[in-house]
Amino acid sequence: MGLHPTIRGMTFSTISALSPLDGRYAGKLNALRPLMSEQGYMHRRVQVEVAWFIALSDCGFAEFKPLSPGARTYLMGLVKHFSETDGEAIKEIEKTTNHDVKAVEYWIKSKFESRPELLRAGEFVHFACTSEDINNTSHALQLRSARDVVLLPALDRLLLKLREMAHAFAEVPMLSRTHGQTASPTTVGKEIANVVVRLQTASDRIASIKILAKMNGAVGNYNAHLSAWPDYDWEAFSKRVVETPEPLGLGLTFQPFSIQIEPHDYMAELFDAVARANTILIDWSRDVWGYVSLGYFKQKLKDGEVGSSTMPHKVNPIDFENAEGNLGLANAMLRHLSEKLPISRWQRDLTDSTVLRNMGVALGYAVLAYQSLNTGLGKLEINEAAIAADLDASWEVMAEPIQTVMRRYGLPQPYEQLKKFTRGEPMTRELMQGFIANLAIPEAEKQRLLAMTPASYTGKAAELARRV
């Protein structure tokens, strides 16, 4: 069990965590925590400050000569090897500064003390920057990493599993239900294929969103920059730092117009896109829950695992319930983020600051849900006998093809005839085939209808399932 720092003499463990993300589910979010925690935030702040500082040394200013290879390696090492101890040191400085960005600046300068070359250039750390130049760019780096390293791979794992299931069950016929009532048959694989296509589209949208950053000073006009070197192209410089690939630059997309803060529209777009993917998965979680309830799927249990505390026969679909609940929590936070963040009074206020600190929480609930879904899907075992029995008990669904063939051959009131024959009455193979036998249609067509069963009436479902 992981231990948290001592506070007023008390040592906190994971069971003392206020959030289940850092408590009960802490181990499941180890990949996200270094990226989206305050430690991750400070790490990215150091990265931005170092990239800016090194780039300034290459501007050709007489007052700041190009850094030596050794100095560059040392500075990049501060980023590469940034540790929790370093983060704690910054927090200690913040106790005095009461300003988290200034604390980062002072920490970097403290690392220059034994290096005269860097010590002489110390005042170029954070040069012409406002705090938000550092913060918004750090947030962008955090979000890009969380998206590319954790979120999208988790969705890819889900997509891989769902594709496998769509192909494996492409030809397994299944009764459909629309409005909760029996409807034209499909196949298990085709229903899963529908989810694959929706989720792939949503995932592609998440991946396509440009992650933006600005480095243009206090209100976005390069005022301070131009006061020092009025003839230098600071906009081009800023763009170069933002867009040059890591490690020399930041590898983001330059935002040329901003107030003091990057306006966060891209964040809203990203969070909305993640929420849309989550909504698809809520829909799917509920559907699977229903299929488990119908007995279409059984669930594998580990030795010793309990399904119900009192009813020994039960195996509850907890992974899908867990996923649905956590996806809902994720979306509540993601939607607040997307609605709040693009709004700032005049050039800026601080209402975004505390909200932004919860980005990792919102994404954490999503990632947790993806893991639950993947676990749940891995436990499913198809019950073809139960699916087949449900189909065989639902011969009323054959009314659709019968009335459609009747329409083809111009028989009177085909829909109305089938409605009268089937509605409210239990249908069997014998009753449906007896109706067909009395139809005035070509014999070949009659034989084709007589050979048709609910299990064979699946159209192109299998082909469509194999296509994804």
Where residue 200 falls among pLDDT bands split at 50, 70, 90? very high
Where residue 3 falls among pLDDT bands split at 50, 70, 90? very low
Q: State the residue for tokens 């938000």.
A: 132
| Percent of the chain at pLDDT exceeding 70 | 95
Residues 6 or more apart in contact with residue 69 via CB below 8 angstroms: none
**Token pair listed for 215:** 């480095």
Evaluate the CA torsion angle 206, 209, 215, 221 in order and state its sign: negative
Of the listed 114, 179, 309, 313, which one is catalytic? Answer: 179
Please tell me the predicted confidence (pLDDT) of residue 12. Answer: 65
Q: What is the CATH number of domain 394-467?
A: 1.10.40.30
Rounded to the nearest angstrom, the gap between the alpha carbon of residue 284 and the centroid of all alpha carbons in its chain is 15
Of the listed 13, 19, 68, 308, which one is catalytic? Answer: 308
Where residue 2 falls among pLDDT bands split at 50, 70, 90? very low
Residue 308 falls in the annotated catalytic set: yes
Tell me the domain boundaries of the chain.
38-131, 148-210+261-303+312-388, 394-467
The mean pLDDT of 281-293, rounded to a whole number, is 97
Q: What single string gives the DSSP state of each residue in 70-115?
A: HHHHHHHHHHHT--HHHHHHHHHHHHHHS-HHHHHHHHHHHTTTT-
The mean pLDDT of 5-30, rounded to a whole number, is 81
Q: Cα angle at 213 between 209 and 214, to 5 degrees?
A: 145
pLDDT above 90 (res 269): yes
CA-wise closest residue to 239 among 263, 257, 261: 257
User: Which of 88-92, 299-303, 341-345, 394-398 has the lowest average pLDDT?
Assistant: 299-303
Q: What is the CATH number of domain 148-210+261-303+312-388?
A: 1.20.200.10
| Pair 365, 315: CB distance under 8 Å | no
Where residue 424 falls among pLDDT bands split at 50, 70, 90? confident
pLDDT above 90 (res 104): yes
**Token pair listed for 89:** 């040191």
The mean pLDDT of 101-117, rounded to a whole number, is 97
Q: What is the CATH number of domain 38-131?
A: 1.10.275.10
Task: Kindly calculate the radius of gyration of the chain based on its CA atoms and give it in whole angstroms.
Answer: 31
The mean pLDDT of 267-294, rounded to a whole number, is 98
With helix as H, strand as E and coil as C, how does 219-273 read? CCCCHHHHHHCCCCCHHHHHHHHHHCCCCCCCCCEECCCCCCCCCCHHHHHHHHH
